[in-house]
Amino acid sequence: MKLKKVLKGIGITLTVIVAALLAFLWFGTYHPADMEKADVACPESAPRMKAKQSLKVLTWNVQTMSGKNYIFWSDLPNNDGPDEKPAPEDVTKTFEEVVRIIKDENPDIILIQEIDNGAERTGYENQLVRLLKLLPEKYKCSTSAFDWKAAYVPHARIRGSVGWMVAIVSKYQISAAERYQLVTAKKDWLTEKFSIKPAMLTAHFPTEQGVEFIAATLHFDIYVPGSNAKDLQVKQVKDLLAQWDKQNIPWILGGDFNLLPYDDSAYARLLESHKPSYNPKSEIKPLFDAYQAVPSAAELTGVDFADWLTRFPNDPAISGPDRTLDYFFLPGTITIGEHYVRQNDTLKISDHLPVIVNFQLP
């Protein structure tokens, strides 16, 4: 009888432990719907765009405001970089530099990737809140969505909460926003719970004339050899853009695609140790075939291709920007003006460089 009680007690204890673990795996990790509304912060007093207006948009992966004074564990091909988190003073300095560039460029819309919210490595801060406080008051409207979120990741180099977002900040009124979940490479059940959930965030802008404009941003996850996830992600995005085209809605998409240009030279220029992170035949080609791109195919393959490099990895074996991963895409109905990658004074801010485009609405 005594043995039965002991065994029953052990069984109850194990049941409680298993139940607690399953509860953590569900409530402590992120389970977004295929499409869901994103919160919008925007006062009614924010001005509306005008039809045929000229606009300037900046896209930038800000690398969690961590700066360039580190070689993070995930920065090296073998995931063996020495650093795990930035010092608070480096984060503050990076905020100052990001704000300096934004003030100088004065874009109408800012598309942001890898901005932290609730991550242990950056002090659990909602970095978008700090950024908005530092920006001029005219940036009244914003929306954001998580693409990585977990209360605790049991990875030896993380061992804490994670949370980074994509975000859109604007001088103009945003009426609604949505988060679209993108497909990912297949993983085992447990790994999937803690993995990045790449997303496309869309913001709707009403104009004074009653028509609509959409700005969108995204952050694709890394390439997984043998998987067609990247092809599927590109198809998802292209299908959504085609819906807007059918509705005659002008739009712009910008972000960190984590995809090389589709010419062979872009892949050939990489260090051998970095090539496994990319498909030799980039999956991005369908977007270039269907839409206007910034940088364009001609710019990416011309004699001045180096002017369009957007990534400067935190790898000491690499001395400067060596690849293009960040792009804009626009429909043919929009007239593109001046556009560029701001390289000269941004190399020490993030491992990505800001890309800027001016254009006119139809």
State how far the Cα of 91 lies from the Cα of 32, in Å rounded to an integer: 29
Is 0.85 surpassed by the pTM of this model?
yes
Q: Are 38 and 179 in contact (CB under 8 A)?
A: yes
Per-residue pLDDT band for 4 (boundaries 50, 70, 90) equals: low
Segment 114-135 shows an average pLDDT of: 98
* pLDDT above 80 for 5: no
| Domain range summary for the chain, segments of one domain joined by + | 1-30, 34-360
Q: Which residues in the chain belong to E strands, given as ranges?
A: 35-37, 40-41, 54-61, 109-116, 141-153, 160-170, 176-181, 199-206, 212-219, 251-256, 292-294, 326-330, 335-341, 355-360
**Would you call 169 helix, strand, or coil by DSSP?**
strand
Q: What is the pLDDT confidence band of residue 210, given thresholds at 50, 70 and 90?
A: confident
Phi, psi of 77 (to 5 degrees): -55, -30
Sign of CA dihedral 94, 97, 103, 105: negative
% residues pLDDT > 70 (the chain) = 93
The per-residue pLDDT for range 256-284, each reduced to its tens digit, is 999 999 999 999 999 999 999 999 999 99
Q: 16 pLDDT exceeds 60?
A: no
What local confidence, expressed as pLDDT, does residue 192 receive?
A: 87
Task: For 143-189, write each residue's pLDDT tens digit.
Answer: 999 999 999 999 899 999 999 999 999 999 999 999 999 999 888 87
Does domain 34-360 fall under CATH 3.30.70.3270? My reply is: no
Distance, in Å, from the CA atom of 97 to the CA atom of 303, rounded to the nearest integer, reads: 30
pLDDT grade, residue 50 (50/70/90)? Answer: very high
The angle that helices 88-105 and 127-134 make with each other, rounded to 10 degrees, is 50
Is the pLDDT assigned to residue 17 strictly greater than 60? no
